[in-house]
């Protein structure tokens, strides 16, 4: 079974630009979550999509947005990039259940550098 | 507001000894706790989990303990191996599939 695939692996952008990151979840998984990892801050939850609907949202500004397609693939968009947006962006997929056996499966991430 | 905290950024342990990684949380609504392991340039991988109705879960060399009254979670690795050297994140979930992660503890197992 293929794992979670994130593209691209690395991105370099300049301030003010926008960027789109892509995530293909594990086959059969309907939930995709996005996290931002920065040194000293751990993994910060951005949002979760389930069946093409945003189900949960973290405390990030509106410049961060996402969407999910009917095949469960998800994209995350960051507009008007700031230097502080430089981070590793991780996508996680799961079945989307709320029972105790639910687990997140992570991709390798997209390393975004904003210059 | 960091609802899940890992107060030790790093830990060094001799090979064969016990590694104990700690995690504290503030939200009493968390119903499920997990530990993830992360190597550089890779995404976190699931290690072990525990439901809030239990106080211990064991899987091979890994045991997770949950103390709900203290809002404290710990991961024990016995015996520690050099391949266990990685960053460990604890995570907690509220109903609805939203997970909160700690800032991570970097474990180094010295051969």
What number of residues does chain B have? 111
Instruction: Tell me the two tokens of residue A10.
Output: 């690395």
- Nearest residue to A74 via CA among A32, A108, A46: A32
- Residue A39: the pLDDT is 79
Q: Which residues does residue A30 pair with via DSSP β-bridges, in sequence order?
A: none
Measured between beta carbons, the chain A residues lying within 8 angstroms of B89 are 42-43
Put simply, whether A98 touches B (Cβ < 8 Å) is: yes
Measured between beta carbons, the chain B residues lying within 8 angstroms of A90 are 43-44
The tens place of each residue's pLDDT in chain A, 115 residues long, gives 679 999 999 999 999 999 999 999 999 999 999 999 987 778 999 999 999 999 989 999 999 999 999 999 999 999 999 999 999 999 999 988 877 678 899 999 999 999 9
- Residue B1: the pLDDT is 67
**Which of the four pLDDT bands, split at 50, 70 and 90, describes residue B32?**
very high
- Report whether A70 contacts A82 (CB < 8 A): no
């Amino acid at each position: 079974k293929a794992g979670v695939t994130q593209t691209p692996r690395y991105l370099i952008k300049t301030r003010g630009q926008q960027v789109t990151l892509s995530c293909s979840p594990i086959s059969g998984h309907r939930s995709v979550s996005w996290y931002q990892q920065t040194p000293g801050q751990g993994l910060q939850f951005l949002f979760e999509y389930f069946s093409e609907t945003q189900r949960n949202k973290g405390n990030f500004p509106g410049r961060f947005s996402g969407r999910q397609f009917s095949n469960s693939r998800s994209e995350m968009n960051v507009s008007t990039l700031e230097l502080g947006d430089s981070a590793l962006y991780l996508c996680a997929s799961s079945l989307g259940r709320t029972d105790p056996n639910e687990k997140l499966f992570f991709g390798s991430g997209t390393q975004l550098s904003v210059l | 507001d960091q609802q899940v905290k890992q107060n030790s950024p790093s830990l060094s342990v001799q090979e064969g000894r016990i590694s104990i990684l700690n995690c504290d949380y503030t939200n009493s609504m968390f119903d499920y706790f997990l530990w993830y392991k992360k190597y550089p340039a890779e995404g976190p991988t699931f290690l072990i989990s525990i439901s809030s109705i239990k106080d211990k879960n064991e899987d091979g060399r890994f045991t997770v303990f949950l103390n709900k009254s203290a809002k404290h979670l710990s991961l024990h690795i016995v015996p520690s191996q050099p391949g266990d050297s990685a960053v460990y994140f604890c995570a907690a979930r509220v109903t609805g599939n939203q997970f909160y992660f700690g800032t991570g503890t970097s474990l180094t197992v010295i051969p």
